[in-house]
């Protein structure tokens, strides 16, 4: 092990696995799927003209792609930039009908 690898490993218990993946095409998305990270997360809920709309974050890119293939009248994409100037395309406002269909299609629980 190099000196920086030894410093990184300090504090890790025997048998503990820590994964550090930061480059492109390293399998980070696959790790999220294996780790059972939910594909859909509700960030907010509101009544708009008497109908329920949700602000939802979709983690795997294929769920975001699926949303964008649906009726555009039922969803609106948020394009927001975080503190590191990274553009996020996986947050949507969506009508309750589309959310229900998405939850039935993509929920793991």
Of 87, 86, 58, the residue nearest 70 (C-alpha): 58
Task: Show the tokens assigned to 70.
Answer: 């649906």
pLDDT (0 to 100) of residue 78:
79
Pick the residue with more confidence: 80 or 10?
Answer: 80
Most distant CA pair in the chain, distance: 62
Instruction: Kindly report which listed range (8-22, 33-47, 61-75) carries the lowest average pLDDT score.
Output: 8-22
Task: Show the tokens assigned to 63.
Answer: 């769920």
Average pLDDT over residues 29-42: 66
Pick the residue with more confidence: 49 or 82?
Answer: 49
CB atoms within 10 A of CB 79: 9
pTM higher than 0.85: no
Residue 69 DSSP symbol: T
pLDDT (0 to 100) of residue 99:
93
């Amino acid at each position: 092990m190099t000196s920086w690898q030894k410093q990184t490993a300090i504090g890790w218990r025997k048998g503990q696995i820590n994964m550090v993946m930061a480059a492109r095409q390293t399998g980070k998305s696959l790790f999220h799927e294996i780790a059972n990270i939910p594909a859909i997360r509700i960030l907010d809920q509101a009544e708009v003209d008497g109908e329920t709309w949700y602000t939802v974050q979709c983690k795997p890119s294929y769920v975001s792609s699926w949303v964008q293939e649906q009726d555009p009248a039922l969803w609106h994409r948020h394009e927001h930039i975080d503190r590191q100037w990274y553009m996020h395309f996986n947050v949507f406002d969506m009508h309750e009908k589309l959310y229900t269909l998405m939850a039935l299609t993509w929920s793991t629980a």
